[in-house]
Structure formats: C-alpha cells, structure tokens
Chains A and B, each alone.
Chain A
Amino acid sequence: AQSVAQPEDQVNVAEGNPLTVKCTYSVSGNPYLFWYVQYPNRGLQFLLKYITGDNLVKGSYGFEAEFNKSQTSFHLKKPSALVSDSALYFCAVREAGYSTLTFGKGTMLLVSP
C-alpha cells in the first residue's frame, strides 16, 4: 500500500524568506512523487514531479523539491516566498506501474507581507 504524510497542517513564513513544506511517503517499489497547489475555489495545479534522475527537481513559479530516498521524503522548497504563494499544497505519490495517485492531507501555506 502507498501512503503520504504531510506533518504540518499550516506553515507560516514572511515574504522574502525561504519556505519548506514537508512530505514523506511510503511505497513498496519505486515512487513517482508530485506536488500540487490549490488556490481557493480552484482546481489543483501541477507544480513539479520526481520520476527518476536528479534528486533536485525544479518546477513552476520558482518551486523546487528534493527527493531523499533514505529518508523517504520529498520536501517542497522555495528560496524566497511571495504573498501570492499562499495556498493549499498537496504532496502525492504513485508507485511505478500503478495508476492510483495517493494524496497527502494538504498543508496550508500562509505568507505574510
């Protein structure tokens, strides 16, 4: 069975500071990992993914994520937060060869001016 944990319900950061949103996963085989963002009353938008290759993945809007196999983590990062980054962020995992995508419970990111 595959699962995802996002340990923080909310992350608060000041504009201009670096941000990290944490995600750990559990799968039997090789993981495919994804980050999505959801703005209020909107659908989920794809940010970035890790399938294979470099452990540091760059995505949309200046976000990046680091795949750490030994810690089974895939934390989302951004060097300098913007107020407009405030939204709900979801980490998701799918085991290679399987179709089902399992989402974490989401982490609300609040960036203060």
Chain B
Amino acid sequence: DTAVSQTPKYLVTQMGNDKSIKCEQNLGHDTMYWYKQDSKKFLKIMFSYNNKELIINETVPNRFSPKSPDKAHLNLHINSLELGDSAVYFCASSQVETEQYFGPGTRLTVT
C-alpha cells in the first residue's frame, strides 16, 4: 500500500555508465517531481511533470532526462554518470496546490 515507491533503493555504478530510477505513485495525483538531496542534506527540485507534461526543468545537466509514460509514473534516466551525481534522489507527487508526498529515496553512488 506504499503511496510513492521508487526502485532501486540503492544504486552503485561506475563513472560513464547510464542508469535509470523508476517512480510510481498510487495516490491519483496529477503532478510528480524529482529532487536531489546532496551530502549536506540540501534538497533541490530537478523536474516536475503535470499530467505527463514537463512544467519545471531546473538547471540540471542534460545528461538527466525525465520520462513520464503516464500520470502515475515518472522515471529518471541519467547518462554518462559522473562522481558528482552521487546523491539521494527523491520522487514526490501531489495534487495541484497541495502538499507533496515523497518516496523513500534512491541512494546513487558513482565510483
């Protein structure tokens, strides 16, 4: 009965590889988000989709590409991984103008 789920929970990979993180929400929300939390716990919005349409695209390298196949899913694909991409990535969802609900996070470690 998890509201917002992410897979995988942990991801360890080498520099230069391509990886994807999947996110699903069963709350019926219209909007989904990707956040990056760095080692100092600072949270920064990366992307936001509303009804499968990109509405927020912060200053993020174009190696990061979100894909929303439907309203309940928002995946994050990362090309040519770099050491600085190591972080915890959180997916979240909300209805318009309401609080966001977060997934458990994906800890990405690039070696």
Residues of A whose CB lies within 8 Å of any CB of B are 32, 34, 36, 38, 41-46, 49, 51, 88, 90, 96, 99-101, 103, 105-106
A100 CA to B43 CA, complexed, in Å: 12
A99, B105: Cβ atoms under 8 Å? no
B48, A100: Cβ atoms under 8 Å? yes
B102, A44: Cβ atoms under 8 Å? yes
Shortest C-beta distance, B69 to chain A (Å), equals: 21
B42, A43: Cβ atoms under 8 Å? no
Residues of B whose CB lies within 8 Å of any CB of A are 4, 31, 40-45, 48, 50, 55-56, 90, 92, 96-97, 99-105
Kindly list chain A residues whose C-beta atoms are within 8 Å of the C-beta of B96.
99
B42, A105: Cβ atoms under 8 Å? yes
A99 CA to B41 CA, complexed, in Å: 22
B104, A99: Cβ atoms under 8 Å? no
A-B contact pairs, 22 of them (CB 8 A): A41-B105, A42-B104, A42-B105, A43-B103, A44-B90, A44-B92, A45-B102, A46-B100, A46-B101, A49-B99, A90-B43, A99-B31, A99-B48, A99-B56, A99-B96, A100-B56, A101-B45, A101-B100, A103-B42, A105-B42, A106-B41, A106-B42
